[in-house]
Amino acid sequence: MKTTLRSLTAVLLLLAMMSFQLIKTQLTITIRNELGNTEAGTTVRLFETEDDYKAETNPVAEGKTDAKGVVKFKELKAISYYVIASKDDKDNTGGGEQTGKLEANRINKVTIVIQ
């Protein structure tokens, strides 16, 4: 009886672990300049709505690119985001940058050009 109970508990625990998503919805953005080189130290902001994007208010996430020109955002909603990227006198203004709808529980990747 104890062996059956332990086996049943082990199976239930295994099923619970399989249904639990280990990866949360993430977005990795690579910033490149007009020459195609990556841009370290670029400020990147994400907005959920077009109104917030246009007014540049209420960003849902903000970060700076690392030495490889990459910034990562974790635990996002599986929606499209508006992106503003800027460094010194370069930005993506006029690009109308919007990601496609992010895939849930995946690492989504986007490249943005600033000039």
Range of the domain at 46: 23-114
Helices (H), 1-115: 2-19, 50-55
| Under 8 Å between Cβ of 44 and 84 | yes
> What letter represents residue 85's amino acid?
A
- Report the CATH number at residue 49: 2.60.40.10
Q: 61-109: per-residue pLDDT in tens?
A: 999 999 999 999 999 999 999 999 999 999 998 766 899 999 999 999 9
Task: Quote the CA–CA distance of 7 and 75 in Å, as a whole number.
Answer: 34
Residue range 15-51, pLDDT digits in tens: 555 545 578 999 999 999 999 999 999 999 999 999 9
Considering its fold, how many domains does the chain have in total?
1
Residue 71, in any domain of the structure: yes
pTM (whole model) above 0.85: no
Q: Is 1 a member of any domain?
A: no
